[in-house]
Every structure is written in structure tokens, then in C-alpha cells.
Chain A
Amino acid sequence: MNDSQMIDVSEDKNVTKKTKDKFMMVIYVSLVILVVLGLVVYFFGYDVLKPFIKV
């Protein structure tokens, strides 16, 4: 293995790590949105959604 190959692998790893970080950030944000949205809908959404709920 020469030096240029070593540099290439290092870049791939960096790219993969960055993509992974971005992906996990999206997951965390969607979980936070789920919690916030869930709480808002649960506590304040009943009166708004009542006409659309079928018993």
C-alpha cells in the first residue's frame, strides 16, 4: 500500500462519517418533532379534530 491509497481511504471514511452524522441528525430531529407534535396534538388537538373523528 502506498501513500496515495492511504489518503483515499481516509477521505472515504470522512465522507461516510459525515453522511452518517447527517442521517442521525435527521433521525433525532424527526424524533423531537414526533414528541412535540404528539404532545401538542394530544393536549390541544381534540377540539380541532373533533368534527373529523368517527365514533
Chain B
Amino acid sequence: MKKLIDRINKVKVFNVIIVLLVILLYIFVFMYIYSDFRERKREELSSEIIKQVDEQIEENKKEEEPVTEVQATYNGINYTVIGKIRIKKINIYQPILKENTKNAYNTSAVKISGPDLNTPGNVAIGGHNFMKGNFFIKINRLVENDIVTITDLAGRSVDYYVYEYGVTSSDDPSYLAQPDNDTDRIVTLVTCTKGGKERYYVKAISK
């Protein structure tokens, strides 16, 4: 009888573990789906903003004094767009937002610091590393001489060639430093790694 009770207890523990595993599987599947839907919505949002950027670029071609910023509203949130970034190798095509806010980072790439786009100096552009490991974390696939194209609202597209990349601490802002001369045009792409403790950066220069 005691053996039977022991066996029943073992079976109960086994059953509880199976039930927990099934519940965890449900949670995992629906978190994956939610993350995928969130990324789809973010992509839609970015595409809408890029359409507005392209319209502004076309209008700027007719104007003598081109507009350098365009206001885009999506889901009731206002964004100031200053250009767009394209990295063909990792399939990134995003507007560059001026706002350095959480909502802006959740939407697209954001200008962190530096001069105007496509002018001499070091422009830092940041983006989120989302749950699925997509979006800007893909910059860790870039190697030397890969091309990053920045288009400003005047319609000027400049190709930047990767020359340096690496990981640094979140307290080390040295990758944001301006060049020693007044001619180099540099773009620094930045994203978080290890839950925000470190920064992955890629530096590219126009030739």
C-alpha cells in the first residue's frame, strides 16, 4: 500500500511538471507571436514615415530652400524626421528621427548626437535591439567596407563605408567623439547588447 502511495505521489509530481511545461509552451508561443506582431506594426509605422519622407524629398527638389525636417504623426505621436538610413546587407531601411525618446526608439532609428546628416563630423544613430534579436542588433553582421547609405531631406544620398566596429561599455561615449579634422563625414551606428550594459557600435566614413 505504501509503495502504491509513493507511486501515486511520483505520478502526481510528474503530472504537475507536464502541466507546467504545457503552460510554459503556451506562454512562449504567444510571446513569440506578440513579438512578431509588434515588429510587423513597427515596420508598417516606419514605412508610413518613409513615404512622408520621400514626398518631402520630392517637394524639396522644387524648393530653393529645402526643408530639413518633416513632422510625421502616427498613432497620435508626433515625430520629427530628418532623413533615412538604408543598409542593404542587413535589410534595414528606416527613417531617422530627431526625438531621443522611448517612443521614437520603439519606432525607428534615432539621431543620438552630432551635426546635420551628410555634413562633416560624426553623426551617431541609435536603434533598439528588440526581443527577437532583430532590427538594429543586425548591425553586428556588418564588416569593413560594407555600405551604409544616409539620405537627408534635401535628397542627398551619401554612401558610408564601415571601417571600425566593436563593443564598449555603456559608460564609454568615446564612439561619439568628433573627428580631428573638418572634412571627414562619419556615421556611427549604435545599439544595446546584454540588456543595455554594453553598446555595439559600427563606424563608417564617406570616401
Contacts and interface: CB of A to CB of B under 8 A. Distances in A.
Interface string A6-41: 000100100010001001000100110010001001
Contacts of B4: 9, 12
Contact of B106 (A38, A46, A55): A55
A1 interface: no
Interface of A: 9, 12, 16, 20, 23, 27, 30-31, 34, 38, 41-42, 45-46, 49-50, 53-55
A46 B26 CA distance: 18
B36 A42 contact: yes
A16 B42 CA distance: 52
Given A55-B41, A55-B45, A38 B33 contact: yes
Tell which of B40, B41, B103, B106 has the most Cβ of chain A within 10 Å. Answer: B41
Interface string B16-43: 0011001001100110011011101110
Interface of B: 4, 7-8, 11, 15, 18-19, 22, 25-26, 29-30, 33-34, 36-38, 40-42, 45, 75, 103, 106-107
A50 B37 contact: yes
B106 A16 contact: no
Contacts of B8: 16
Majority secondary structure, A binding face: helix
B26 A34 contact: yes
A55 B33 contact: no
Contacts of B45: 55
Contact of A55 (B7, B15, B30, B107): B107
A42 B39 CA distance: 13
Given A53-B38, A55-B107, A34 B29 contact: yes
Contact of B22 (A27, A49, A53): A27
A23 B19 CA distance: 10
A50 B41 contact: yes
Contacts of A55: 38, 41-42, 45, 75, 103, 106-107
B105 to A, nearest CB: 10
A39 B96 CA distance: 34
A16 B37 contact: no
